[in-house]
Amino acid sequence: GAGVSQSPSNKVTEKGKDVELRCDPISGHTALYWYRQSLGQGLEFLIYFQGNSAPDKSGLPSDRFSAERTGGSVSTLTIQRTQQEDSAVYLCASSLGNRVRAYEQYFGPGTRLTVT
């Protein structure tokens, strides 16, 4: 079946502009996660959605970052007034949620964001 999809695959933006990154999880997966990975670094957790519960936003680095998930499916990560330090690969993952083998996360191909 279809995996996690993300768009765009690459995004180049000027400092100060807003960007929106999209994630379409695996059908039936109730949990959705956003991570950030800077070059040569590990995964940095950003935000987690589980069903209709309030999202866990504890990883968002500043109030310039926000995310929403519409209809329990597609999610959009928005970065306002982008800064050069926001340059990274933004990865989305989904999992089944609170069921057997619920914690296995499957990752999308990522969006490479470059802020010039």
Partner 1 sequence: QKEVEQNSGPLSVPEGAIASLNCTYSDRGSQSFFWYRQYSGKSPELIMFIYSNGDKEDGRFTAQLNKASQYVSLLIRDSQPSDSATYLCAPHNAGNMLTFGGGTRLMVKP
Q: At residue 77, what is the residue type?
A: L
Contact between 9 and partner 1 per CB under 8 A: no
- Smallest distance, Å, CB 32 to partner 1? 11
Contact between 72 and partner 1 per CB under 8 A: no
Binding letters toward partner 1, positions 91-110, x by CB under 8 A: x------x--x-xxxxxxxx
Instruction: Please say whether the beta carbons of 44 and 59 come within 8 A.
Output: yes
95, with CB counted inside 10 A (0-12, 13-18, 19+), is buried
Binding letters toward partner 1, positions 24-63, x by CB under 8 A: -------x-x-x-----xxx-x--x-x-----x-------
Instruction: Please say whether the beta carbons of 67 and 46 come within 8 A.
Output: yes
Reading the block at residue 62, the tokens are: 């500043």
Please report, in angstroms and rounded to a whole number, the separation of the first and last CA atoms in the chain.
37
The footprint of partner 1 (CB under 8 A) covers: 31, 33, 35, 41-43, 45, 48, 50, 56, 91, 98, 101, 103-110
